[in-house]
Amino acid sequence: MPHPLGDELTELHVHLGGAVDPAALWSIAHRQGIRLPSRDYWEFVDLITVKKGSRKSFEEFLMLYRWTELIQSSPLAVEESVYEVVGGAYRKANITTLELRYNPMKRNRGGEQDLDHIIMASIRGVDRALLEYPVKAGLIFCLDRTMDMGLNEIIVDKAIAYRHRGVVAVDIAGPANPAFHYRDYAALFKRARQAGLGITVHAGEDEDWHSVDEVVRYLEPDRIGHGIHAAQDAGLCRRLAERNILLEVCPTSNLHTRVVRDNEELAGYLAVFRKHKVRFSLNTDGPEMLQTTLREELKGAVRNGLVSKEELAQCGQWAQEASFIK
């Protein structure tokens, strides 16, 4: 029997911390005896999701991850979380190619839990979902802008060590940090690339176009997470197009975190990308936290004038081409 939702979708930009169904996360928290600050389930949902229509600042939004990351910080919890996300993406949106990202260092309770146990548990979560559904899934390890170079280097080493086990790429994410510079990671990312990993980096989201420029110059990315503010500079757009770098655009997320004012501003940026032939895909960033699905995201993008129906198909094609899962 075909999937009731129709055509298959690809999603490239999803964070584990924002993608687990609250009911599943609630159960995982209880199985581990975590003391939650919420009195009941509904307060818990409120704690880890963004209310429809409400808007948080970028930093407030990242604070929501505090709880989800804590609950996901054990081998059992990571395995269950990854398994739920991959299966859920298939059931709820017919996503058959899914790249799921997380920071292993934010799942080991500050070193209390063994990193390899966490990583292998996440791989097992993917494998279990693959046994149940006709999907392809890969893991992306996120470095963090607020972690020091030593810790971030360990994450890259782990990604390289597990590259034949389902880890497909590395990323840099996390809150802004004035002491952080993308260019400091040039050698480390070169090593990751030479080991065969894909490179995608969060930039041009809460930052302006210079951040994307720095990433392109020093880290040689295949893709950029968000990257919308790259539209502020025509020269940069031309370089993105020449190098065939894909932007992982997340409309609902951008509106919630107020990194763009409104749909009009976002539509303006996408028009610039269209003009310069910069490839982009549409993503949720964290479907459960933002109470959306990729399907709703795509419908909304057409409804809000971000893309035409024809362009939607093109974005899907680009996403498939730019996927790190081979």
Binding residues (CB under 5 A) for Zn ion: these are: 285
DSSP secondary-structure letter at 285? B
Distance CA 205, CA 251 (A): 11
Report, in Å, the least distance between residue 2 CB and Zn ion.
Answer: 31
CA 180 vs. chain centroid, Å, equals 20
Locate tokens 């795509």: which residue?
298
For the chain, the farthest-separated pair of C-alpha atoms sits apart, in whole angstroms, at 54
Locate tokens 């057409």: which residue?
302
Report, in Å, the least distance between residue 52 CB and Zn ion.
Answer: 20
Which CB sits closer to Zn ion, 226 or 279?
Answer: 226
122 within 8 A of 102, measured Cβ to Cβ: yes
Which CB sits closer to Zn ion, 144 or 285?
Answer: 285
CA 297 vs. chain centroid, Å, equals 14
Which CB sits closer to Zn ion, 26 or 65?
Answer: 65
Burial class (CB in 10 A: 0-12, 13-18, 19+), 244: middle
Distance CA 149, CA 136 (A): 32
Report, in Å, the least distance between residue 173 CB and Zn ion.
Answer: 6
Report, in Å, the least distance between residue 13 CB and Zn ion.
Answer: 6
- Long-range (24+ apart) CB contacts under 8 A made by 28-31 are 28/71, 28/72, 28/76, 28/77, 28/80, 28/81, 29/71, 31/76
Report, in Å, the least distance between residue 269 CB and Zn ion.
Answer: 17
Report, in Å, the least distance between residue 225 CB and Zn ion.
Answer: 5
Q: What number of other Cβ atoms are within 10 A of residue 217's Cβ?
A: 13
Which CB sits closer to Zn ion, 58 or 120?
Answer: 58
Which CB sits closer to Zn ion, 135 or 140?
Answer: 140
- Using Cβ positions, the residue closest to Zn ion within the complex turns out to be 285
The residues, any chain, with a CB within 8 Å of residue 18's CB and separated by 6 or more, are: 64, 65, 68, 285, 286, 287, 288, 289, 290
Locate tokens 């994307």: which residue?
212
Which CB sits closer to Zn ion, 48 or 133?
Answer: 48
Token readout for 157 is 């080493």
Which CB sits closer to Zn ion, 113 or 319?
Answer: 319
Which CB sits closer to Zn ion, 177 or 308?
Answer: 177
